[in-house]
Amino acid sequence: MTNSDNLSAKTVGGLSYNSDATTKNKKAVYNVGPRGLGLYLQCTLRADGSCAKSWLLKIRIGNKRHEVGLGPYAELPLAQARAKARERRVYFEREILLNGVNPVEEMHANKKKARAAQATVITFKEVAEQWLEKRSKEATGKMSDANTQKVWGRIANYALPKLGDLAVNDIETAHVLQVIRPIWEGKHETARKTRGYIENILSFAIAQKLRPDENPARFKGHLDQVLPKGANIQVVKHREALAVDEMPHFMANLREANTVAARALEFLILTATRSDQARSARWEQIDFKAKTWTAKGDDVKTRGVHVVPLSDRALELLEAIPRCSQYMFHSSGKSGYVSATGVLKVAKAISEDTGLTAHGFRSTFADWAATKTDADHDVIEYALAHKVGSETSRAYRRDTLIERRRGLMNQWCEYCYLDS
């Protein structure tokens, strides 16, 4: 350390880490005077060999020595640094006399608290990610992998741009409305679902004591009082289904299409299952001897396995498919199996109906079973993997009527190929 009564600005400017000074931990410290002020220039060696300079005030309070940073050398000329050092020294001495506290220790304690508070702040995006991870682990049919992506897509596209970087405990009604209002009328279904996701995420935060108990995304008795109702609200269109009488002709044309997507669609129709279930079906789920397919549990709304009896045509279809991967309907895409878009394109091309949906074929099956067979309601519901009966009755009932369903699915297969 260099002692000095009063170094000049030019001399101070020439000081660096390589100059003659007491060094420690790659730092050189110089007393720049005047004597008794306690103003020092600290020079720190950077990794690239350059020198970072900053001002330091050293002061004794009681039996303790303290060091207080005054700012970088580049922003504070020597004269201003000396003036600031005098101001701080006078302030510290006055605080000791008037309040009997060590102002430097109090200042350091306040900075430590501020850093701790900042470290515990959690953003809406962070909570949203935790909520979605929890929901994914509890996934039922509605929260399959594909649906999880759709949920996150809406959150990422609509909620995160406005709320993502906000502390979750700071979010208020006005913030939620900034997300919902612009799409409430033009994209009502998207707005409705996005609001629900925001409410669930904030409830998740409330349960963890990350924010106050009041949920600003609550609809009933809250947002419903400020969001408009009426004719301008977008009406949700129901999924289009193929008419029952058109199915045989459709299937005849479908058999002519020689693509993986066409075979996936045919399998979907023959089993009356959901698109994601059929497209992501794996070879290990098929029991050719028992003529059954144990559908993926995460995609079944009844929660758990859904054993589907397979008709002879469904088995014939599978036996003709090359085993390229674990998935029956293999694709080189990211998922590893044929996409929903690919299947839907086949359906629309054959029917020439742009409103047709893959899910609509389940409705066609349900209409056929109800109007052209004498199958019991429970058999049809089990075939569609719907919940049957009350929660109590389901707890005692183990029989899913698989043999009666097998008969129904064979009838369905015969009907589908009437024109083939």
Predicted confidence at residue 203, as pLDDT, reads: 93
Q: In the predicted model, is pLDDT for residue 317 greater than 80? A: yes
Question: Can you give the pLDDT at residue 395?
Answer: 40
CATH 3.40.50.10780, applies to 244-416: no
Sign of CA dihedral 319, 321, 325, 329: negative
Gap between the Cα atoms of 253 and 280, Å rounded = 24
Question: Please, are residues 9 and 30 in contact by the beta-carbon 8 Å criterion?
Answer: no
Tens digit of pLDDT for each residue in 38-88? 899 888 887 777 888 899 888 887 778 888 888 899 888 999 999 998 988
For the cut 80, the answer to whether the pLDDT of residue 146 exceeds it is no
Q: What does the pLDDT read at residue 291?
A: 95
Is 124-225 assigned to CATH 3.40.50.11930? no
Compute CA distances 273 → 28, 34, 44, 349, 363, whole Å. Answer: 75, 87, 69, 21, 10
- Residue scoring higher pLDDT (8 or 4): 8
Domain ranges of the chain: 9-119, 124-225, 244-416
pLDDT in tens, 210-257: 888 899 999 988 998 999 875 455 544 444 788 899 999 999 999 999
Name the pLDDT band for 1 (thresholds 50, 70, 90). very low
pLDDT of residue 144: 55
Task: Give the relative orientation of helices 260-271 and 312-319 as an angle to the nearest 10 degrees.
Answer: 160
Mean pLDDT of 365-381: 89
Return the pLDDT at 180: 94
Cα(36)–Cα(165) distance, integer angstroms: 48
Predicted TM-score (pTM) of this structure: 0.47
Could you give phi then psi for residue 321, rounded to 5 degrees?
-90, 130
> What is the percent of the chain with per-residue pLDDT over 90, rounded to a whole number?
38
Q: Dihedral of CA 227/231/232/237: which sign? A: positive
Q: Residue 209 pLDDT more than 80? A: yes
| CA–CA gap between residue 365 and residue 249 (Å, rounded) | 15
Correct CATH for 9-119 of 3.30.160.390, 3.40.190.10, 3.30.380.10, 3.40.50.1110: 3.30.160.390
Q: What is the pLDDT of residues 187-196, one digit of tens each?
A: 888 898 899 9
Which residues sit opposite 294 in a β-bridge?
A: 307
If you count them, how many residues does the chain have? 420
